[in-house]
Amino acid sequence: MPSGLQASSFSISDILSGPFLLNIPIYQRPYSWGAEEAGQLLDDLLDAAGIETGNVPDPDYFLGAVLLMDSQHKAEKTKLSTSMPPRSLDIVDGQQRLVTLLTLIAVLRDLERNSRSRIARRAAAIMTARTNRGFFPTFSPRIHLADRDQPFFTRYISQPGGTLLTPETDPEGAAAALLEVRDHFIAQLSTYSQAERARLCDYVLDHCEVVVILSSEIDRAYRMFIVLNERGKKLQRNDILKADVISHLRPIEVEWGIKAWDETSAELGDDFETFFSHLRTIYGHTRPHIVSAVRAVVNEEGGGAAFIQNALLPLAGTFSAIRRNSAHSGDLTPRMRWYLHYLNRLADGDWAPAAMLALKDRRVNPAACERLLGEIDRMAHLLRLLCLGAGRRKKRFGDITEAIRQEGRLSPTHRTLAISREEMRNIAFHLKDLHKRNQKICKLLLLRLNDEMAGRISDIDPDKFTIEHVLPQRPPKSSEWRQWFPSADERAQCIENLGNLVLVTQSQNDKARNALFAEKRAIFSAGTVLPVTRDILGYAKWGKIEIEDREARLFGIIERIWRIDLPRSRASGGSASAAPRASTG
């Protein structure tokens, strides 16, 4: 370690409950993570903890390096440890992860609704730090955000019960990002049992680790920040595997093997690394590291040449066709391309191994492959409407993939493709406030409904459209909205209702906000009007009856697309005292 720098490994519990008093310096950018980044972290943690999959938890989970600066003690050489005197340190790199983890622990604490629970006690120890050991103790925030953001973080996240409070006005900037992450965690974690949430809390605090690098000079800290964040040309898995496979070819096969490998790498580009992860899943090797798993596949196929011929080339070709999904791919039918269009919009590729197997023989029997791909599309979207985490989705699709590999083309009634009545009830429940649970999936659903209404794939850029609540989330007290919805409970129920959501451009959204219904109709009518938005323009009034009427029509389309029977008591606004437990499959 260069002079002036120290480094040591700490658990999250150590760094958030020891002598570290952490500050976000004024030169740092504000907190900026959203539901996507924080949701990915949560999925990874649930997977590592074995909560999603039921597997044995990983012994530890590395969260990367955290770079701190101690500009007040340049001359001192106190060893970096949990026993050193309390220190006020600036976070140079690591703000997003640490603030997100604090938010996660705060949500876990408040979901217990028990101030004496183990989670509450552990949360209290990390949210604030005792800075005076005398007769009159004083406490400071464990992480002090920028002055403009600290009051919001304290009120709506760090203080006990704060994550259950709703801001009276729409926050902006870092506060809006914090609120998005907080609400995403609440929606996701509310489907887990109390015991599972306690396990997650303990795993995050005791088994997740960071390497803390401490610097006493700003220039050195900045240089280290550049080193930590620059992306150099790394030796990738496919380089290691290429050398391994080619070394086991016969001399006469080497030139052919290298040519096949390099052409496949060029065809897949950045997706080549992802391909090996899917290849591992196809062959049933879900837990080992990818390099070890692919080596096992090579042995199962009978050596390097057989691996290239029977696994690498055909499956890589199928994966390339899936990712391109082009009309110029003559071996993909229009209906295949329809399904792949929506599957490719899903961020995680948990469905891809099953789709690769389903389409492997598309030239031989395209009709059968098309039907199976339709079942994969159905399951991929229904599992997201169930709000299952990444680990549980991977497990479900692992079962589907194995069934396809062992049995070939599956019928729609195959056990791995079944959605239970309980799961249908859970889907209906989650649809009541899907936007609050997962904004990204809600937007993808509205885009799919839009295309179903249009009867074709809309030629639009999804990034240019945003979700708008027709009944505003915070209608002014003197507006007609309060006259149409005098009951706060009824208003809250209708706001997040699927029937109350439309897709508009950001410009239209900015203009509409809390406007009256007649004004909103005029704003939505101007410019591009998508079919999923056009259907509200014929209403003269927008009340509970109209919202539920539109919701029922949208539910009907969902039922038709994915062959499910949504309980009508939910669709018509039936209440529930608690969220149903998400099925583990």
Give the side-chain half-sphere CA count within 13 A for 12.
Answer: 28
**pLDDT of res. 581:** 38
368 pLDDT band, cuts 50/70/90, is very high
The predicted model gives 408-420 an average pLDDT of 92
Q: Higher pLDDT residue, 87 or 447? A: 447
The predicted model gives 346-360 an average pLDDT of 92
Question: Residue 56 above 80 pLDDT?
Answer: yes
**pLDDT of res. 236:** 60
Beta bridge partners of 504: 466
Percent of the chain at pLDDT exceeding 70:
88
* 46, 391 Cβ separation under 8 angstroms: yes
Indicate the burial class of 443 (C-beta count within 10 angstroms; 0-12, 13-18, 19 or more): buried
Question: Residue 148 above 90 pLDDT?
Answer: no
Give the range with max mean pLDDT: 165-169, 276-280, 346-350: 276-280
Question: Residue 246 above 60 pLDDT?
Answer: yes
The predicted model gives 407-416 an average pLDDT of 91
Distance CA 241, CA 258 (A): 12
The predicted model gives 191-203 an average pLDDT of 92
Beta strands 208-215 and 143-144, pairing class: unpaired
Lowest mean pLDDT among 212-216, 429-433, 446-450: 212-216
The predicted model gives 427-434 an average pLDDT of 92
* H-state helical runs in 156-270: 173-189, 194-207, 218-229, 237-246, 251-268
Distance CA 433, CA 424 (A): 15
The predicted model gives 115-137 an average pLDDT of 78
Closest C-alpha among 67, 2, 65, 62 to residue 28: 67
The predicted model gives 505-530 an average pLDDT of 91
Question: Residue 228 above 60 pLDDT?
Answer: no
Closest C-alpha among 537, 414, 526 to residue 470: 537
**pLDDT of res. 577:** 32
Percent of the chain at pLDDT exceeding 90:
53
**pLDDT of res. 309:** 95
Tens-place pLDDT, residues 528-578 = 899 999 989 989 999 999 999 999 999 999 999 999 998 754 334 443 333
Beta-strand ranges (E) seen in 427-473 are: 465-469
Beta bridge partners of 143: 22
For 505, phi and psi rounded to 5 degrees?
Answer: -70, 165
Give the range with max mean pLDDT: 127-131, 147-151, 414-418: 414-418
DSSP 3-state of 92? strand
The predicted model gives 380-384 an average pLDDT of 96
The predicted model gives 84-110 an average pLDDT of 90
With b meaning 16 or more CB within 10 Å and e meaning fewer, what string describes 320-339? bbbbebeeebeebbeebbbb
* 432, 443 Cβ separation under 8 angstroms: no
17 pLDDT band, cuts 50/70/90, is confident
For 63, phi and psi rounded to 5 degrees?
Answer: -105, 15
